[in-house]
Structure formats: C-alpha cells, structure tokens
Structure 1
Amino acid sequence: MKMKTLLMGAVASVAFAPSVLAEGHEGERGRDGEVKIIYWQAPSILNPYLSGGTKDMEAASLVIEPLGRYDETGALVPYLAEEIPTVENAGVSEDLKSITWKLKPDLVWSDGSPVTTEDVKFTAEYCMHPEGGCAQRAKFDGVESVEIIDDLTVKVTFSEAKPNPYGPFMGAQSPIIQKAQFADCLGARAPECTEANFNPIGTGPFKVKEFRPNDVITMEANENYREEGKPAFASLTFKGGGDATAAGRAVMETGEFDYAWNMQLAPDVLQKMAEGGKGKPISAFGTLVERIEMNLTDPSPDLPEGERATVQHPHPILSDEKVRRALSMAIDRELLVEIGYGQSGRATCNLVPAPALYASDNTECLTQDLEGAKALLEEAGWSDSDGDGVREKDGEKLSLLFQTSTNAVRQDFQALIKDWWNQIGVEVELRNIDASVFFGGDPGSPDTFQKFYADVEMYANNFDGTDPQAYLAERRCDNEPKPSSQWQGENINRFCSEEYDALLDELSRTGEMEKRGEIAKQLNEMLTKESMSLLPLVDRGRVSAASNTLGGVVLNTWDSELWNVADWYRVE
C-alpha cells in the first residue's frame, strides 16, 4: 500500500527509550542539587491545552509528558508508551484508520496513583470538548473515537485513513493529563481550574512545588519518576521574565543560571556574552519562523466586546489581498536577517521552511520592491490626495496598529518595517507587550496574540516533529480564537478557505511521501504566496545558552527544548 510509505519512513529507532547518557551520569536521584533555568518569557500557566505559548508548553513539559516524543533528529521515540505503534508491529491498522498505544506497565503519577488508559482517553475528551477552547485542537484533527481496550491499551480511531497518525498524545504539545485532577474541568470550566492548571500532577522528572505566574516556578524531583537515578537534580528553579539580554548574561557571564532559552539577540551581542567564559550558546535549525500575521477581521474597539476580531466583521483594510501583498513587497527580509540574526537566521517566504520535502521553493518575497508596492496600493484605490504622506480611500486613512512582544530584536524589526511601510504611504502605530502577557492565553486579557486586538502582529512558533500536517491544519475554518472558545484556537489571523480545507483533507489521506510534500507546499503557498494572509520573515535557528557545568543537554528543535531534562547532570 502506498499509504504506508509515510508510516514506514517517519519512524526511526523506536525500540529504545530516549536517554542521553554520559560518563559519570549515574547515581542517586537528586545527587546534583539544584538546576536553574531562565526563560525571559515567563510562563503564565502549566497547561499547554490552554495556551499556545511556547514558554508555557515547555515549562509544563518538565511535569506532564506525552506517550511519545520526537528526538533531536526528528525521530519518534516512546516515553509513556512501550513503543511507537507502526503497521509493522501491528500498532497501526492496515487501513491506517486506527492507532493502538500500549502504556509502559507500572507507571504512576507523582501523587503515587497509577497511570491508566482512562487518563489517555480523558485527555482527548478534554481537548475535543465542544464547549471548550483547546489551544492544541489541531492535534486531534480527524479523531473519531478513543477506546479503552484495557488498563494499558488504548485505541484511537480516525474518520478516514491517517497516514500520519501521530497527532494525539505525541510531542510536548499533546501530553497526558490526570483524569482525577481535571475531571471537573471540561469545556467552558477549563480556564477556571486554577489549581490544576498551575500545579498539574504529572509523570515527568519534576513536580511543582510552587508556581507564581509570570514570575518563578520552583520544582522538586519526582520521587515516583520511572527511571532510577533520575533526575540528577533534587530541585529546579524556573525563572521567568526580564529580557533575552539579561538571561544570556545570567548564564554566559555571571553563571547565575544553568540554562537560558531563546537567545533572540544580535550575533555580536551573543559573541560578546560568550567571552564571559561561564557558558556558551547552542543552536540548531528547525521550523521556527518569525512572521507577520495579517488580521483578516476588524479589531476596532468601536465594535462591541465579543465582536471585535471575529469573523462576522471583516477587516476594513486588510481584507484586500493587494494591500497585504504591498505590505510584503515593502519589506527587506535579507536586511532583517543581517540586523537580527546573522548566521542563525535565513530569509524565508515559507511558513514551513523544513524538512526539505515540505519546503516550497517560493522565493518571490525575498526581493524588496518599494515602487511596486506603491503601484499596487494605487491600483487598490489607496492614494495620498492631501500630500500628508498617508494614503486614504473613501475617507479612511491607511493606518495600522502593529504589535509584538517586548524584545530588542523585535523592536528593531518593528522600527525597520514601520519605516518601509511609511515610505509606501502607510501610517503605522507600534505597540509592544510583555511576552508573558502576549503569549499567556488569558481569556480576560485584551493583549494576547490569540485575541489579536491589532491590525498586524509579529511572533514565531513551530511544530512538533517533522511532519507539518497538524501545523497546517491550524488554519482550518472555525479554528480561529473566539469568545465561544475562551479565545483559544490556532488560526490566529482568522483565515478561512474551503479550498484550503479540502486540500488539508487530501493531505490527511495521502501516504506517499512525495505527494504529501507536494500538497504541503500547496497549502503553504496558499497562506504565504496566494492569499498573503501571513508574511514569513526569517527562518530562525534556535539559539539558547548552557552553562559549562551542565551536562547532558541536547538541543531539540522538533519538540520541547527541555525534552531530556531528566538526563541533565552537573559537570565538575
């Protein structure tokens, strides 16, 4: 069967548990004292189903785990599962319409209670609840049922053949949560369960001792962790807030912290920090794309609350594809890379820049064309009739609110892009929001990237593993954040196309790898080249910093960056 091709090709080295051992990495649990991690974007919740923020998902990954993960090569490896199901081991059905997972025996939660398939099934019910808003809903795209076979065996059935069945329960974006803890948190009640959302009971190497949102998390080793002698650290401090500069210095110059995430800093700044001698930057390319999202709905505060930035009100300016295209044409992406990332960035026109199988050869956006952008705006009816430098049409000025999170590189990008857009006759107001708030997912906050109370916004994220199907499925119609979903949802710019959705369905049915690549490229180009609903800017290498005394760190761009923290240890 050609449809098996993806399944056979996607799973590599699945028979072993992920473990990055090094000489001297043996002994009693907790033998190495404390490890200190700093994320300048502070976590605001420890439930990745209620937040699309990377900082929340990665902090949670220290505590709650999926059935399987992706290792640093993108290969699938088992965690709570005995093995990765495949057609060959009979874990995936011949017709590719079901996948059966088997839990490792004798797994327990950090509270000592047994982990069973009841917890697995409940996790699906939690995310798929029709009255709730799940930030990772695309992971369960096409799931028809989740059936308990026995305490250790659970079967996921899809509505049609699923050549890539590794959406649910795979990767840090789709961990297993404890049914007993979250049983009363289904649907609209999910955001109200503060204790569960801040202090999840997990199976990971650490458990929460105290969580102070947007500040600091203290954790201690999980005495019920399944691997003997792990974690090496008795406690973990996860500090949030500040900025990338301070975080980098805390590891590489002062040695106050052991690990700093997301060194979104200019190359010369990183080099200078590394001269401090306490730590070093580590980097790897994956699928992380800095981009500008175009709001296709009207965020005007003049609209009633509950109607702002919803599909019932199209955007008065950005609904015009010519305007969106002109804004893209005005940007010099190569200069953005030079200013912000150097060798750790690559200019891109793609939302999916890797792996090569799925990366379009679309390079049209890489050439800046200010005159062409001006001509396109004229063609769309926007002209500067009064000579004030700002175009207008039917009495409305071409004026945009451009928001992003607070970060030196992003503010540099904002300033450059504002200048380019000013040159083509667009008035731009800049806003930057504390990253902990912007990526926090609080349904009551007006400043989250999901709520999108601005005209355009800039950020970056990526997807688990090497297959972009679930990531592209985020842009389905009706998957946009909205009041009825507590403003959760992955379709941030409110894009909707029946043609796009039909092509997504075709991708989900297609197993032959080359054909999957062709379809994924088409979907990518519908978003980035045809509709211009989002403007990719930079394919960013992941750059973090690790102390010279921290061993076992393996940077992973395909899953949580903290995926193997159980294997970290102190180097003398």
Structure 2
Amino acid sequence: MNTFLALAVMSVMGITVSASTHVYAQPDKKQLVVGQLQFLTNFHPLIQVNNTKRLQINYGLLPLTAFNWNADNECILCEEVPTLENGLAKIVANADGTQGMRVQFALKKNLAWGDGKPVTSKDVAFTLKMANDPNIGFSEFNPWVRAKSIEIVDERTFVLILPKVTPGFASWDQILPEHLEGPIYSANGTSESYVKQTLYNTDPTNPGLWNGPFVLSEYRTGTRITWTPNAYWPGEKPKLEKITLTYRNNSSALIQNLLSGEIDAVPVSPGGISFGQMLDVRKQRADLNFQTTAGTNLERIALNLDNPIIADVRVRKALLMGINREAITQALFDGQQTVAHSLLSDTNPLFNQAIPRHGHDSDAAMKLLSDAGWSPAKDGICTNKKGDRLAIDLTTTAGNQTREQIALVIQDQLKQICIEVKPRFLPLQKYNGEVSRHREFTGMIMSSIRFSPSTSPRIALGSDRIPSEGNSWVGNNFSGYSSAKMDGALDKFQSALSAEEKKSAWADIQATFAEDLPMLPLYFYSEAYVTVPGLKGFEQNTFDPLMIWSKNWYRE
C-alpha cells in the first residue's frame, strides 16, 4: 500500500456520524459526564506522571502554582507568586561560593484537606522529604527536588531553599497529606512498595487525600470515577455538584457515547477521541461545541540509542526525513496540527530559526542510509555488509486511534526508503511501565511531552534523566541520550533568569537537538475538547491542565 492510499484508508477508519439524535446525558445542569480513554492504574499524583494522569488528578489535588490560559503563572494554593521584584524570591550566596535561592510562599487561609485537616507547611516539608528520597522517584514536571531543604516560618508560611538559581523557582507541583501518607511512607522505603501501599491506590476515595474544590467520592476500576465538592474548600465553591469520568476501551465508543447523549464532554487525543474524529463530527453536528486552541504538547518518537542501528545519527536523520509529517497532519488533522521541527513550535518566540528543519526528502534520506552502509535488498528492505536488516519496532499505546493510524502510516512511508517498521500497540500500563520507563524497547516509542515555561527540557534530554533502577526509573529521557554539549546547554538554561539568557539557552538546546536528533519531533497537539452546548468557564489551556480551574465550570 502506498502512502497516499494508506492515508485514504485512515480517513475511512473514522466513524459514521448520525445527525438525527440530539440527546444529552445530563438534563441536571449541576452534573457533567466526561468521557476518558485510559483508566489510571496508579493514582499517585507525583509518581509515574504523564499527561493522561495530569488531566485526571487535578480535579481534586491542586499544584501550588500553575500557568493559566493567558500563560501567566498564578497561585493556586498560595497567596502570592514569589518574584525577585516582590522580594519573596531572593538570590543568595551558598557556603561554597555558588549562588542559590530562597523562595517564600504563604498557603491560602483556611486551606484544608477533604477530611477537614488543615493543609500546612508540614505537608510541604513532608512532600519535599519524599521528593528528595532517591528510592521513591517523584515527577519531574515542576520537581520538588529543586529544593533541598525548607524553613517553616509558621503553619502557613515556608521558605524553600534552592542550592541553584533556576528560572522555574515559582512553579511547584502538588502537596501530599502528611497525616495520611506519612505513616505509609515510613513503612515502605522503596517506590515499588510505596506505590502498592499509598492510599492514592488502596483507598482513593479517602477525602483527606484531596485539597482542591473536588474530592474523589466514587472509584470503580476501569469504569468510572466521580468527583464531588470538597466541603472544606475555602475558595469559591464549585458550580457543578458532580463530575464523573467514564471510561471506554476505544475512541470510537467515546464519540458514539457523546453523540447518543451518554457523555457531555470528551478530550481530543491524547486520552480521548482522535482529531480526525472531531473534524468528522464537526462537519455534521454544529450543535456541539468544539473548543480548540494551539497547543504546546509535542508528539515525538523516542529512539533507543543503545540499538547500534539507531546509534548512527545518519540513520536517525533518515528516519525523520523519510516521514512525511505534512502529509500526516493534512490527512489526519486537516492541517490544524503544527508540524514540529524541534522541541518548540516555530511560532514560539524562543524557537531558533537557524536550525535545520529536516523536512521530508526521500532522496536525501536514501543518501544518508547509503553513507551509513545500508543498501536495498531484493525485497526492498535495506541490509548492511554484515547482513543486518534495517528493521525497527515502533511501539505506542493501544486504543489511541490517532497513534495507531500514525504508526501504520509511518510504517508505509519508511518502507519507501527501505526501512522496515514493525508497529506494536500496548496497553497504557505496560507502555508507561517497563516499556518506556524501564526502557524495554529496542527501536522507537511514540508518546507526547510538554515543556511549560517552568519545566526544563532536561527531563527528556539530560544524561542524568535516563530512567534507571538507580534513580527509581525517573526521567523522560527514554532514548538514553547522553551528550556533554547538551548537558552544558541545559545547565545554561537552568540558570537563566532574564529573557535574553533564556532565549540564548533555548537556542543552544535546539541547535544541539537538531544536530543529534535523540528523538523525532512529529507535531504539536492542538488542545481540544468536544462538549455539549452551554458548558461555560471551560477555558482551554496550553501548559497546565484545565481541570485545575474546574470549579469555574457551569452549564447553562
């Protein structure tokens, strides 16, 4: 099957939409049913974190700060965002002559867990203690490990002590309840043991685990979870009385349930229906709401650089140049997903316009493969002088129609340049566990990653972020990429405070990335949801999950 025929086949794999039924799930405007594709097997908010988990946890457990729809960092659990200008953040001299930081926060007044216990500075200290335990392995989106110690001023006020100057000093993730999780952590000193015993997995409906406007009140494995208002939330009360996340095995079922009125809202991939399905529905159901905005979520292919075939940068560049990303985004997304040439979109003011873009060029790709010692055999697949076959696995998540389609198209496109691609579709738990985080793949894996203004690209590119048993499998450097040049550029980024320094550091990171291609950038997801009419306050976001502001949602 040639590329264009494969793309045509993909288009007919979408669903047939009936425009006859306009029934909606909740005549009760105080309730909302949200369709989801992937049920979480680990509900802990700070361990094995991915974009899917972030979309499901933030109804009930809020980060200290977050970037809103205007890309402004705002306090979520605190009173005021620390800055150098307001004096809540200070650069200080360390004992060894280097520079560090002191960053002061005050928690919101009357902030409480869902069991009525106050959220205090002791909870922050407990979270920080766990984060700095190398046996546990916390998230690296806005990592707590940036702070090595804490000074507790009073029940609500604390100072984080950072040994290094970092531009993300005002961005911090969720806080854990010391009164509930403290004893469990003390009794379970490894990540494997703790994850099995944490209340987030053994008793997720315990209200004391949640500090946001909602608490998780119902949990049915693989089927649904329900969020209801937190009686102790001190801020503006939620306008909805119930938000139910209901799960389906595939994206076609999600969209059919939306059309039949069983669900009120559904995310567009990742974690929901495909972008192509959304476009198909939009053509025939103008009564629904289609909320989209340009995104920053990068769909990428990580490459196992331990594989001697992929270790050759010429092969990596040939792989990228053999993939027609423009054709994919046109066929699947009606051209509405931006082709990625680096870690940042080329519309981002920090994008380095000088980097090579490695566009689709089959002839140039074949030349690179020839230079690397590969030539087509009788069956059209390349071999080298040793008789090795140019065959590479491509693994991604099962049930995600968009990724499954893209994997099949990439298989067809790379066959045109004598590369045999073998797609594998795995359940989310297996994919996120041993396959990606334990790096038990031999070729390529496809997933997404997002770099907010506070998240260092080190999580995916730093040589110290290669997941291993020694670091409790933390980090998103699934490729196993190690480069002194890149590490130097990342160090430069992590000490950049001014806009000029940050832009210079990003330029170096992107230049080294383009030279080495440790992973293959595909495109940037548009942030999108399909919802029933009348859902308001549902502000799309480009950096942090919109669920953080779910208390603002209401239905007319």
What TM-score do you get using the length of structure 2 for normalisation?
Answer: 0.85
**Which range moved further: 499-508 or 282-291?**
499-508
The letter of the residue matching 2:179 is A
The letter of the residue matching 1:97 is M
Structure 1 match to 2:395: 403
Whether the aligned pair in 2 keeps the contact of 1:128 and 1:137 (CA below 8 Å) is no
- The 5 A counterparts of 1:415-426 are 415-426=408-419
Aligned to 2:126, which of 122, 126, 129? 122
Q: Structure 1 residue 203: deviation in Å?
A: 0.9
2:314 matched to 1:322?
A: yes
Structure 2 match to 1:477: 463
Whether the aligned pair in 2 keeps the contact of 1:350 and 1:524 (CA below 8 Å) is yes
Structure 2 match to 1:491: 477
What is the SS of the residue equivalent to 2:546? coil
Q: Structure 1 residue 530: deviation in Å?
A: 0.9
How many residues align? The count is: 509
Structure 2 match to 1:18: none
Q: Structure 1 residue 268: deviation in Å?
A: 6.9
**Which range moved further: 451-460 or 357-366?**
357-366
The letter of the residue matching 1:224 is Y
Residues 390 and 536 of structure 1, relative CA distance in 2, 3 Å threshold: same
Q: Structure 1 residue 220: deviation in Å?
A: 2.1
The letter of the residue matching 2:42 is I
Residues 437 and 37 of structure 1, relative CA distance in 2, 3 Å threshold: farther
Q: Structure 1 residue 354: deviation in Å?
A: 6.8
**Which range moved further: 66-75 or 137-146?**
137-146
Q: Structure 1 residue 64: deviation in Å?
A: 0.8
Q: Distance in 2 between matches of 1:275 and 1:258?
A: 17
What is the SS of the residue equivalent to 2:148? strand
Q: Distance in 2 between matches of 1:155 and 1:394?
A: 60
Q: Structure 1 residue 127: deviation in Å?
A: 2.2
Residues 438 and 385 of structure 1, relative CA distance in 2, 3 Å threshold: closer
2:275 matched to 1:231?
A: no
Whether the aligned pair in 1 keeps the contact of 2:251 and 2:274 (CA below 8 Å) is yes
Whether the aligned pair in 2 keeps the contact of 1:353 and 1:360 (CA below 8 Å) is no
Q: Distance in 2 between matches of 1:470 and 1:552?
A: 30
Q: Distance in 2 between matches of 1:516 and 1:35?
A: 41
Whether the aligned pair in 2 keeps the contact of 1:550 and 1:569 (CA below 8 Å) is yes
2:378 matched to 1:392?
A: no
Q: Distance in 1 between matches of 2:476 and 2:144?
A: 13
- The 5 A counterparts of 1:181-200 are 181-183=180-182, 184-185=184-185, 187-188=190-191, 189-197=193-201, 199=204
**Which range moved further: 105-114 or 497-506?**
497-506
* Structure 1: runs of 5+ lacking an equivalent: 1-30, 297-313
Percent sequence identity is 23
* Structure 2: runs of 5+ lacking an equivalent: 1-27, 93-99
2:105 matched to 1:101?
A: yes
**Which range moved further: 489-498 or 427-436?**
427-436
Q: Distance in 2 between matches of 1:373 and 1:525?
A: 20
Describe the superposition over 1:234-267 as per-residue Cα deviations: whole angstroms up to 9, x where unpaired: 222111233333323433x223222211245354
Q: Structure 1 residue 523: deviation in Å?
A: 0.9
Structure 1 match to 2:352: 360
Residues 393 and 91 of structure 1, relative CA distance in 2, 3 Å threshold: farther
Residues 566 and 83 of structure 1, relative CA distance in 2, 3 Å threshold: same
- The 5 A counterparts of 1:136-175 are 136=140, 139-140=143-144, 142-167=146-171, 169=172, 174-175=173-174
Q: Distance in 1 between matches of 2:474 and 2:218?
A: 26
Whether the aligned pair in 1 keeps the contact of 2:34 and 2:244 (CA below 8 Å) is yes
Q: Structure 1 residue 497: deviation in Å?
A: 1.6
Aligned to 2:506, which of 504, 517, 520? 520
Q: Distance in 2 between matches of 1:175 and 1:450?
A: 25
Q: Distance in 1 between matches of 2:54 and 2:494?
A: 25
* CA RMSD after TM alignment: 2.5
- The 5 A counterparts of 1:338-349 are 338-349=330-341
Whether the aligned pair in 1 keeps the contact of 2:278 and 2:530 (CA below 8 Å) is no
2:529 matched to 1:537?
A: no
Q: Distance in 1 between matches of 2:73 and 2:139?
A: 23
Q: Structure 1 residue 386: deviation in Å?
A: 5.7
Structure 2 match to 1:456: 444
Describe the superposition over 1:297-339 as per-residue Cα deviations: whole angstroms up to 9, x where unpaired: xxxxxxxxxxxxxxxxx32211111111111111111101101
Describe the superposition over 1:390-439 as per-residue Cα deviations: whole angstroms up to 9, x where unpaired: 32342322111111123222222212211222122222211112346534
The letter of the residue matching 1:181 is L
Structure 2 match to 1:71: 68
Q: Structure 1 residue 271: deviation in Å?
A: 4.1
Describe the superposition over 1:74-102 as per-residue Cα deviations: whole angstroms up to 9, x where unpaired: 10111110111112322111547121111
Q: Structure 1 residue 450: deviation in Å?
A: 5.7
Whether the aligned pair in 1 keeps the contact of 2:460 and 2:476 (CA below 8 Å) is yes
Q: Structure 1 residue 503: deviation in Å?
A: 1.9
What is the SS of the residue equivalent to 2:409? helix
Q: Distance in 2 between matches of 1:510 and 1:266?
A: 36
The letter of the residue matching 2:482 is C
Q: Distance in 1 between matches of 2:41 and 2:284?
A: 33
What is the SS of the residue equivalent to 2:175? coil
Q: Structure 1 residue 509: deviation in Å?
A: 2.0
**Which range moved further: 336-345 or 475-484?**
475-484
Structure 2 match to 1:17: none
Aligned to 2:225, which of 217, 228, 233? 217
Whether the aligned pair in 1 keeps the contact of 2:485 and 2:512 (CA below 8 Å) is no
Q: Distance in 1 between matches of 2:437 and 2:459?
A: 19
Residues 160 and 336 of structure 1, relative CA distance in 2, 3 Å threshold: same
The letter of the residue matching 2:284 is E
Whether the aligned pair in 1 keeps the contact of 2:489 and 2:509 (CA below 8 Å) is yes
What is the SS of the residue equivalent to 1:119? helix
2:553 matched to 1:554?
A: no
Describe the superposition over 1:359-394 as per-residue Cα deviations: whole angstroms up to 9, x where unpaired: 222674453121221121121122345665332342
- The 5 A counterparts of 1:260-409 are 260-263=266-269, 265-267=274-276, 270-273=279-282, 275-276=284-285, 279-296=288-305, 314-353=306-345, 356-361=348-353, 364-365=356-357, 367-384=359-376, 389-406=381-398, 407-409=400-402
Structure 1 match to 2:554: 569
Whether the aligned pair in 2 keeps the contact of 1:350 and 1:525 (CA below 8 Å) is no
Whether the aligned pair in 2 keeps the contact of 1:64 and 1:202 (CA below 8 Å) is yes
Structure 2 match to 1:47: 44
Residues 393 and 487 of structure 1, relative CA distance in 2, 3 Å threshold: farther
Residues 516 and 355 of structure 1, relative CA distance in 2, 3 Å threshold: farther
The letter of the residue matching 1:479 is R
Q: Structure 1 residue 348: deviation in Å?
A: 1.9
What is the SS of the residue equivalent to 1:358? coil
- The 5 A counterparts of 1:21-32 are 32=29
The letter of the residue matching 2:175 is I
What is the SS of the residue equivalent to 2:464? coil
What is the SS of the residue equivalent to 1:284? strand
Structure 1 match to 2:179: 180
